[in-house]
A and B are shown apart, each in its own frame.
Chain A
C-alpha cells in the first residue's frame, strides 16, 4: 500500500480542521484534499481524513463513493470528464469522446500508463449552449471537435506538465 508523506498528512489534517470548525462545505474540502492524494481516497487516505474530521470511515466511504467526482482508486494527474448528457450527445460528444480515448489509448474509466490522464464520463456540466464540453480538472472546454480536443491534450502533455 502507498504511504502518505508526513507533509501530505499534515496538509490533510489542516484541511480537516477547517471543516471540523465550521461543519460546512464538506464537498469543497474533500475536493481540495483529493488534489493532494493522486485524485483518490484510498484506504489509508480515508483513514487519515475520517480520523481528523471525526466522521466514521463508513460514512465517509458512503459519501465518497456516491459522488463521481471522487474515487477510491488511484487516478491520473488530470481527470478528463466528458459530458454525455443529451445536449452534448446530439452535438457530437460521442466523436469527441472517441477521439480522446483513441488519442490517449485508453478506455473510459482508465488511466494512461504515464499516470497523466484519467478519462471518465459525467453528466451535464452546465455548458450546454456551447456543447460538446469536457472538464479537465477544474478547467472547462467547450465547442469541441475531435481535432480541437487533441490540441488541448497536447497542450496538457507538453505545456502544463512537460
Chain B
C-alpha cells in the first residue's frame, strides 16, 4: 500500500533562471552556469495515483506546454492499456490527438517567436529594454504583433476543440480521446472568419519566415556566429525519416550528420539514454550511452529536428527545409540563432498539418477508444515544441502508478544551453568587471533561443526574470544584475 508522500526538495519550481559566471583576476570567463527549475516533484506526486489520472495531473507541471505532457502521458498509458505503441489507436483517436498536438506546437512557437524573441530581432540585443519588449513591437510593428496574437489564438482554439480547454484539458485518455470534432467545429477552423482559418495561418507563417530571412540577410554575422557550436542532435522521426512531431522512432546524429541512434524503438530508451546528476543544479543531464557521459550530450528542439529529419511531409515546409539545409550544405546546423528559423519552418508545417487533419473526415468519427491486454509499463515520447519529451510509467496490480520518470525537453537541452551561455559570456563579458544591461540581455538571448520551458520564459514583457552573478576566483561577488 502506498504511503505518505514526501517531496524533497520542495523548491525549484519558482520559475527563475539563474546564471553564475566565474571570472579570474584578468577578467577572463573561467566558468559559467545556468541553474534552472526542474520538475522532479511531479514524479513523486503521481505515485499511488490511478494511472488514468496521469495525463491530467502531470500536465499541471507546466502552463506553457501542458498539451505536450498531456499527450506524452496518454501515449505511455496507451501502451499500458494495450492500445499498442503508437499504431493501435482508432483513426479518430490518433488524428484528434495529432490535431491537438499541432495546435499546441503552432501556438507555442508563435508565442515564442512573436512575443519573446521578436523584440531582440526588431530592436537589437543591446537596445533600450523599455522598447525591446512586446509592447514595443505592438507600437512599432503593429501587423506583426497582431499576427502573433491571432496565430496564438488560433492554436489555442484548436486545443480547446480537441482537449476541452485551452489550458489543462482532458481530451486524451488512455487508449484514445474523449471527443471528436463536430462539423461546425471543423468548419470554423477551415473556413473561419478572417483571419482565423487555416489558409490565413499558412499565409502568415510564410510571412514570418520572410521576415526572419530578411533579418538574417541583414544581420548574417550575428545570426550565424552568436552562440554557435557543433553538437549531436536527437529527435523522433517517422519510420521513413520524415518529420513527425507526434510519433516515431528515435534518431540521433553527430555533428557531422553520422547516425548515432539508428531509428530505434523508444520503448527501450533506457538502453540508449542515461541521466547524470550534478551537485549544482536540480536538473539532470541526459546523455547518449553509446558515446558516454562526457561527450554524449545532444541538442533537441526545432534546430535538432531540422538536422535529424530527411524531409518534411508537407510541401511548403519541405521547400523551406531544403533552403535551410542548403545553407550548411546539408551538414548539421549548430547555430543557436537558427533555432528561430527552424521554429518558423515548424510553424508552417503545423499549419499545413492542421489543415490536412481538418480536411480528413476521421476527425469527426465516433470510434474514440481502443483497449487491449493490459501491461504494467509504458513509455510515451513525442516532439514537444522545445524538443523530445519522455514519459515513462510503471503501475502495480491495483492500477496505481508506482514509478514515473520524465525527461523534459528543456532537460535534454541542459548542456547546449550552458554552452550557449558560456559562448556568449566569453564573447560579451571578457575583459569587463561590470556587466551592462546589454551584456546581460545577450546572455538571455542565447538562452531564449532554446525557448526553455521555465515558467519565467513567459514573463510577458519579453524579459526573463534572470539573475546574473559575476564572481571572482574566490567566489566573491563582483557584480549582480536582476532583470
A and B associate in one complex: no
